[in-house]
Chains A and B, each alone.
Chain A
Amino acid sequence: MTKRFKTGYTIGIIILAIVVAMLLGAVILWAIGADVFKTYLVILTEPLKNKIGVTEVLLRMVPLMTIALGITVAYRSGIINIGAEGQMAIGILATTAVALGFPELPSFVLIPFAVLAGAVGGAAWGFIPGFLKAKLEVSELLSTVMLNYIAAQLYTFFLRGPMLDPAELTMGSGTPQSMRLTRNLDLTRFIKGTRIHTGLFIALALAVIIFFLLWKTSYGYKMRAAGASERAARYGGINVPKYLIIAMMISGAFAGIAGSIEIAGVHRRAIEGVTSGYGFSGIVVALFGGLHPAGIVPAAFFFGLLIYGADMTQRLVGVPANMVQVLQGIIILVIVSTKMILANPYLMQRVERRWYALFGKKESTKEVKA
C-alpha cells in the first residue's frame, strides 16, 4: 500500500464521516420541520460572510484549540481526559483570584501571572484523576466526570459568595458574576470593531509547543510510549505512572489556560456558564483533528464555525442553537465508528483492490473517493 493511498484513504473516510454526520443531522432537522439545506447553508457559510463573523469564529476557536491540545497530550499518553470542563472552571477561578488580588500590577506582569495561575489551577484539578489512575487504577472516565460536577459547584459557590461583584450586592439583582476585572488583565483586541484578541496567537503558539513537546522531546517520547504500549514502556525503564500524572497535569493546565484566556480576552469577568461546554467540544476537536496539532487547528476552526453558525440559525431559520450540540453528539458517534473503520486493514485492502480494479493501473491517480 502506498503512503499516498493511505493518506487519501484516511482523508476520504473522514470526509465520508462528515457527510454521514450531516445526513443524520438532516434527519433530525427534517423531523423538527426545519429547512435542512438552508440550515446547513447558514451554519457553514453565513459566519464567513463578513469580518465580524470570521473573527467570532476565530474567537471560539481559541478555547477549543487550547483544550483539544491538552486533551491530545493526555490521550496520547493513554489517559482520556473528560474533565476539561472542570479544569477550565478552576483555571478561571484562579485567574480571577489573581486579578482581584493584584489589580495594580502592570499588564506585562499580571497577564502572565494570571494565565500561569489558571494553568496551575487546571493542572491541580487534572492531577487528582491522574494520581488516582496512576496509583490506584481508578478509571479516569469516572473521576474526571465527577470532578466536573465538583468544579461546577465550587465555581458557583465562589461567584455567589467570595467573588461576587460588590455592585450586584448593592443593586441586589444577584447575578452570579465577579466584578469587571482590572483593565491590566485585558488581552488586546487587535482588529477594531471585533472581539478577536491576542489569545489567538497564544493558542497557536501552544499548538507549536505541543507538537515539539510530543514529537521532538524525550518527555513526549516517554508519554507517547506509555500511551502506545504500557508494557513496552515499563520494560524500557519509563516510569509510566509518573508520565500519566504529568500528562494529566499538562492536559488540565491547558484547560485552565483556555479559561484564563477566555476571561482575559472575551468576558473580562468570571460569569456563570463561561465554560459553556468547551471542555466537551474540545474532546471532539481533538479526536476530529486526529490527536495532532496540525489537524486540531483546522478542526477547531470547523467547530468554531459550527458553534457560531448554530447561533445564527436561531435568528435566520428558527432552528434552536442547541441543534449544534445534537450535531456534535452525532459527530462523536461517527468519529468513533470511523476510528474502527480506519483500524481495519482488511477493509482498506479491499477498498484498494476495488479502487485499482475500477480505475486501472497502480500508477494512476491515487486520490480516493469522498
Chain B
Amino acid sequence: MQQLTKAIDSLRIEHITKRFPGVLACDDISLEIGKGEVLALVGENGAGKTTLMNILMGLYHPDEGKLFINEEEVHFRSPNDAFAYGIGMVHQQYMLVPNLTVMENIALGFKQAWKPWKLDLQMVRERIEEVARQYGLVVDPDAYIWQLSVGEQQRVELVKTLCLGARFLILDEPTSALTPQETDELIALLKHMAEELSIIFISHKLQEVKDLSHKVAILRHGRVVFQGDTIDHSSSDIAALMTGHEVVLPHNDAPACTLGPMLQLRNLKVRSDRGFLALDDLSLYVCKGEIVGLAGVSGNGQRELAEVINGLRKVESGQILFDGKDIANFSPAEVIKAGMGYVPEERNTEGIVPSFSMKENFILKDNQSETYSSHSFIKNKVVEEMANQLREQFDIRSPNIDVAAGSLSGGNIQKVILAREISRNPKFLVAVYPTRGLDMGAAEFIHKQLLKLRNEGVGILLISEELEEITNLSDQVAVIFKGKIQKVLPSSEASRRRLGILMAGVKDDEEI
C-alpha cells in the first residue's frame, strides 16, 4: 500500500496536564511509544484515557506538557495537524455522517481524491477495496451509515483511518463492538500491523491487553499509576491495579424458569430500515426471573428485535405475547405502560435526552405519572429527591443532579439509564449491550443490578456481544443469525467455541 505520511519512530509525551471544570482529567502524564510497539492504556471510566488521546489527536490542547515525535517537539492545533504526522484515531463514538454512504464518508477525509471540479469516487472505492483486502475488513462501500449496526460502523471507522494513511493508530476500545471471532482476527491483524506501525489502544478487556500489547499503562484519576511490560504481569494484577481492588464479576448460578413465561415472541417478521426482512420468522421466549442472553454478530437483527419489542418498529406478522397479552404494534407508550423496561443500544442519543439535566432524564418515561406530577405540573421537589437518591444508590459520578446528562461519561450515562429503568419496577427488561465500553467496575455494578432484578422475578433479554457477559449472567443463551434464532442452549452448555460457531451461521454445531 502506498504511504502518504512519514514513518513515526517514536512518540513521547511529557508531563501532560489537562483540566476541565472541577476535574483534573490528565495529571502530569508521561509516556513513550517506539516504533512497532503496542501500548495498552487501561483504566476505569473517567480515568482520563480518552482525554489524553484527544490531546494526542489535537482535539484538545494540553494546559501543560509537551509532545515529541521523532524527538522533535510538535504542537497540534487541530486533528488535521495530527493526521499530517500520520496519527489516526478510531474514536469510541464514531465520527461518521449518517446520511452519506461508506464511500462518501471515507472520501470526506481522502484528499487525494479531491480532483478539481470532481470527486474521484472510483479512486476512493479502489482504496477501500485495497485496504479491505489487505486487512480483511469487509465493508459495503455503497451502504448508508444509518443503515449499519454499531459493529459495522466501527469497521468503517477502521477502514477510514487506514485509508487515510495512518501510521500511528490510536484505538479507543476497538473491540467493544466486535464478535469473538472478529476480535481474534483484529488482534491478529493488529499484531501484524504493529510490525510497521505503532499502536496505542484503550481497552477494558484484559485478555486483549495480554494478547496484544507490549507495554501497559494504567491510569487512575488522571494519573499513571503503573507502567510496565505486559509480559511481566498477569491479568488479575492489572485488574487489581486498575480498580484498586480485586474484581470478581458476578456469576449467575440460580435455578432457571420456574415461574412461567413472561415474553413470548412467535414467528416475528420485521423489516429493517432498508426494507429487507431483519427478523425472519423469529421465535423465542423468556421466563419470569430468567435471563436469556442473545448472542450474535451485530447486524443480524438484534437492533430490530429490541425495537420491535418496545414498539419502536412495526411488526409485519407474528405475535409478541407479554405476560400472555399480545403487544405487537403497540405504541412505545403502551409498551412502557405494560411494564417493559429498555436499555437501548445508543445510550447517548436514545437512552437520554443529552441536553436535559440528569434529573430531567430520570422522568423521561414518568413525566406524567402521579408520583412526579400533579395536574400536569411536575413536582420538582419529588423529582429532585428521587434524583438524589438514585444518584447515590447507583453511584452516578456527577457534580450534581442538574448537569446535562450528555456531559457525563459513558458509564455514568448508562447508570442513569439503568437507574431510571430499574426504579420504574419493570416486569421485563430488554438490555442491549449494557456494558459496552464500560470499565470493569461499572460493568460489575451493572451485572449485579441485572442479577438482582432477575432474582426479584423480572425476565431479562440481554443482547450482547460479550460472550463472557452472556455466559456469566444468562440462564439460557440464544444465538441469532440473519434474523433467526439458531439455537437456544442452557448457559452451562454454551462454551465460547460453540457459540462462536453458531454465531458464524453453522446450525448444527455439535458435529464440529
Contacts and interface: CB of A to CB of B under 8 A. Distances in A.
B377 A239 contact: no
A1 interface: yes
A234 B377 contact: no
Contacts of B392: none
A231 B333 contact: no
Nearest to A215: B378
Interface stretch (A86-94, A161-169, A221-229, A306-314): A221-229
Interface in B319-342: 331-333, 335-337, 342
A234 B350 CA distance: 8
Given A2-B21, A228-B356, A222 B350 contact: no
A28 interface: no
A331 B20 CA distance: 33
A217 B377 contact: yes
A334 to B, nearest CB: 24
Interface in A280-299: none
Given A234-B332, A235-B342, A237-B331, A221 B349 contact: no
A218 interface: yes
Contact of B367 (A1, A2, A218, A232): A218
A232 B352 contact: yes
B80 interface: no
Contacts of B364: 225, 232-233, 235-236
B293 to A, nearest CB: 22
Contacts of B337: 237
Given A2-B21, A217-B378, A225-B356, A235 B333 contact: no
Nearest to B355: A228
A229 B331 contact: no
Nearest to A2: B21
B349 A239 contact: no
Interface string A197-226: 000000000000000100011110110110
Interface in B331-373: 331-333, 335-337, 342, 344, 346, 349-356, 360, 363-365, 367-368, 373
A231 B356 contact: no
Main SS class of interface, A: helix
Interface core residue of A218, A219, A234, A237 (most chain B CB under 10 Å): A237
A368 interface: no
A208 to B, nearest CB: 14
Contacts of A236: 332, 336, 353, 364-365
A228 B337 CA distance: 23
A231 B331 CA distance: 14
Contacts of A233: 353, 364
B376 interface: yes
Nearest to A350: B61
Contacts of B63: 353
A228 B357 CA distance: 12
A145 interface: no
A350 B61 CA distance: 9
B21 A232 contact: no
B63 to A, nearest CB: 8
A356 to B, nearest CB: 11
A232 B351 contact: yes
Contact of A229 (B20, B60, B349, B368): B349
B187 interface: no
Contacts of A235: 310, 312, 332, 342, 344, 350-351, 364
Given A2-B21, A225-B356, A234-B332, A218 B351 contact: no
Contact of B353 (A218, A219, A228, A237): A228
A175 B172 CA distance: 72
A16 interface: no
A229 B356 CA distance: 9
Given A228-B355, A232-B353, A218 B333 contact: no
A321 interface: no
Contacts of B353: 225, 228-229, 232-233, 236
Contact of B378 (A216, A229, A232, A353): A216
Contacts of A218: 367-368, 373, 376-378
Nearest to B332: A237
Contact of A1 (B21, B354, B378): B21
Contact of B312 (A234, A346, A349, A353): A234
Nearest to A231: B350
Given A235-B344, A239-B331, A239-B333, A217 B356 contact: no
A350 B310 CA distance: 44
A231 B363 contact: no
A291 to B, nearest CB: 12
Given A218-B376, A221-B378, A237 B365 contact: yes
Contacts of A234: 312, 332
Nearest to B78: A346
A236 B365 CA distance: 5
B351 A221 contact: no
A353 B368 CA distance: 43
A342 interface: no
B377 A216 contact: yes
A22 interface: no
Contacts of B367: 218, 221-222
A228 B352 CA distance: 10
A128 interface: no
Contacts of B20: 1
Contacts of B360: 221
Given A221-B360, A236-B365, A237-B333, A231 B378 contact: no
Contact of A232 (B333, B350, B368, B380): B350
A341 B306 CA distance: 38
Contacts of B368: 218, 222
Nearest to A229: B353
Interface in A305-354: 346, 349-350, 353
Contacts of A212: 377
A353 B20 CA distance: 11
A231 B376 contact: no
A266 interface: no
B192 to A, nearest CB: 36
Nearest to A236: B364
Contacts of A237: 331-333, 335-337, 365
Given A221-B363, A221-B367, A239-B331, A232 B373 contact: no
A349 B60 CA distance: 10
Contacts of A350: 61
A238 interface: yes
Contacts of B310: 235
Nearest to B63: A353
A269 B137 CA distance: 72
Interface in B372-416: 373, 376-378, 380
15 contacts: A212-B377, A217-B373, A218-B377, A218-B378, A228-B355, A229-B352, A229-B354, A232-B349, A232-B353, A234-B312, A235-B342, A235-B364, A237-B333, A237-B335, A346-B60
Interface of A: 1-2, 212, 216-219, 221-222, 224-225, 228-229, 231-239, 346, 349-350, 353
Given A225-B364, A350-B61, 13 more contacts: A2-B21, A216-B380, A217-B376, A222-B368, A228-B354, A232-B349, A232-B353, A232-B354, A232-B364, A235-B332, A236-B336, A236-B364, A238-B333
Give the 7 A-B CB pairs with smallest separation, nearest first: A237-B333, A236-B364, A218-B367, A1-B21, A237-B336, A218-B368, A229-B353
